[in-house]
Amino acid sequence: MAVGQLPRQKSNLLPLLLPLSFSSLNFTSSFSSISVPNGDFLKKAKRVMSLFKLCSSMKDLKQIHAHVLKAGFDHDLFVMGKIVEFCAVREDTDYSVSVFDSMENPDGFLWNTMIRGFGMTSEPEKAIGLFKRMQEKGELADNFTFAFLLKVSGQLGSDKLGKQIHSSALKHGLDSHVFVRNTLVHMYGIFGQIENAIQLFDEIPSPDLVAWNAILDCHVYCRKFKEALDLFLRMVQSGTKPDDATFVATLSACSSLGELDFGRWVHSYIDNTGFGNIISVSNSLVHMYAKCGAVEEAHKTFNRMKEKNLVSWNTMILAFATHGHVSEALALFSKMLETKLERPDGLTFLSVLCACSHGGMVDEGRRYFDIMSQKYHIKPTMKHYGCMVDMLGRAGLVEEAYHLIGSMPMEGNAIVWRTLLAACRVHGNVELGEKVREQLSMVEPDHSSDFVLLANMYASVGQWNEAIILRKTMRDKRVQKPEPGNSFIGKSS
């Protein structure tokens, strides 16, 4: 890993970095042999290092740490760095902090390992506090330090902090380093500051693959999909060979634009490079074809996959469901359960419920909703309840849908109430529609569609006075209809 490439200081084990074979080493016997009083130092050192290859849990690590202390290697920065690094990867920050704080003069590698470790936890802001400590101790930050800190800034969503770190990297003359520059591009993309990201990218004399992927991701994240496809073409023309991450980002842009022809061209490119066997790329292809309306091509791609994961199954089931292929969606779900290779999750059931809703299969929808929680212990989310309300509403069971919303463990949001209001309008249930409109007024007051739906409902049953009064109220409150949106989809043939 890149962190391991940092120059180390004060270690007595640098000669031991040459490849060593310890395949015949017994874990238990290795511990006991370390503490032999007359053992040779070099032999003891090799034994210590070999133990880390056998370490697979924090329990193992704590045993190793105990024997490291007995063997007298507790002041060796390389050995202690291995302990800290293992804790950081395992996200056991408490233990790594206790080991780190026990060391008198940790080197740059250890400081960076700790900063990186905190960045991987649920409290990445602690990495910033550690950086301040590092500065107070007089330890110089390097390219890895700034790369980790910029990543943390992106995680925290703090552009102010990110710009401060950027400024500090400039002062240290490290802003042009490949790791730092690529992380800067990615960070500004996360902040939605695409102009800054583009400027930093354009200043790179010869962008590497990581840089191209970073700027591609920025454009996709900032919904600059057309520009992302142009970048992909520029990248290919520059002679840089794409990898799986490139294809995933590019196919995502194709999906969002509905650019089926471009997506097909990318697919042929993938087939010629051998990346089609990578699951993430195949999943992106299935998703792209589905979003562009080419369900048959999505299914063919899915069937050709040598390996499938849960995302593969979910993507294809949802593709069938959203395009009205109800029986195919439910058959594929049954096949997934039969294989027993993947356990369904919340998204799987969301796709299945969507299929039931589109197919008007109320009894099946109720059964799957119950199976989800009772057999697979998946707690329904607002989206699952929304699917159920939509399914019941389409079938005219608006009263049942109303009671279902009332039984939810969370407060109903505007979307679920508006779904029911639309169903009340379709089925002419004015009385319930008025109740639902009252609920909506508390969740999201003065939304134009709510006024329109209820007014149309009054009109559909001949209650013209109520419809006129409601539309007048809408005008008096100056409730405006939202601006119309635009959509585009590529040709399917």
Tell me the C-alpha distance between 450 and 174, whole Å: 55
Tell me the C-alpha distance between 112 and 115, whole Å: 5
Tell me the C-alpha distance between 170 and 164, whole Å: 10
How much is the pLDDT for 204? 93
Contacts of 341-344 with CB under 8 Å at 24 or more apart are: 341/308, 342/308, 342/309, 342/310, 342/313, 343/310, 343/376, 344/310, 344/372, 344/376, 344/378
How much is the pLDDT for 422? 86
Residue type at 373 in one-letter notation: S
Write phi, then psi, for 294 (nearest 5 degrees).
Answer: -95, 75
> Domains of the chain: which residue ranges?
1-140
The SS3 of residue 387 is: helix
CB-based contact 364:397 (threshold 8 Å):
no
* Residue 357, both tokens: 């809703």
Q: What would the pLDDT profile of 274-322 be if each residue is shown by its tens digit?
A: 898 999 999 999 999 999 999 999 999 999 999 999 999 999 999 999 9
* Burial label, 8 (beta-carbon count in 10 A; 0-12, 13-18, 19+): middle
Tell me the C-alpha distance between 142 and 137, whole Å: 15
Length of the chain: 493
* Residue 18, both tokens: 């040459």
CB-based contact 150:183 (threshold 8 Å):
yes
How much is the pLDDT for 7? 39
Cα angle: 96, vertex 99, 101; to 5 degrees: 105
* Residue 112, both tokens: 């960076």
Residue type at 64 in one-letter notation: I
Residue type at 114 in one-letter notation: M
Tell me the C-alpha distance between 216 and 230, whole Å: 10
Residue type at 389 in one-letter notation: V
CB-based contact 315:287 (threshold 8 Å):
yes
462: left (phi over 0), alpha (psi -120 to 50) or beta: left
What is the DSSP-derived secondary structure letter of residue 3?
G
CA nearest to 311, candidates 289, 338, 282, 353: 282
* Residue 14, both tokens: 């640098």
Tell me the C-alpha distance between 485 and 374, whole Å: 41
Tell me the C-alpha distance between 96 and 92, whole Å: 6
Tell me the C-alpha distance between 392 and 452, whole Å: 22
Number of Cβ within a 10 Å radius of residue 268: 9
pTM of the model as a whole: 0.75
Q: What would the pLDDT profile of 270-280 be if each residue is shown by its tens digit?
A: 999 989 899 99
How much is the pLDDT for 251? 97
**C-alpha pair distances (Å), 168 with each of 140, 146, 198:** 12, 8, 20
* Residue 307, both tokens: 């390996």
Number of Cβ within a 10 Å radius of residue 466: 17
Residues of the chain with pLDDT under 50: 1-39, 484-493
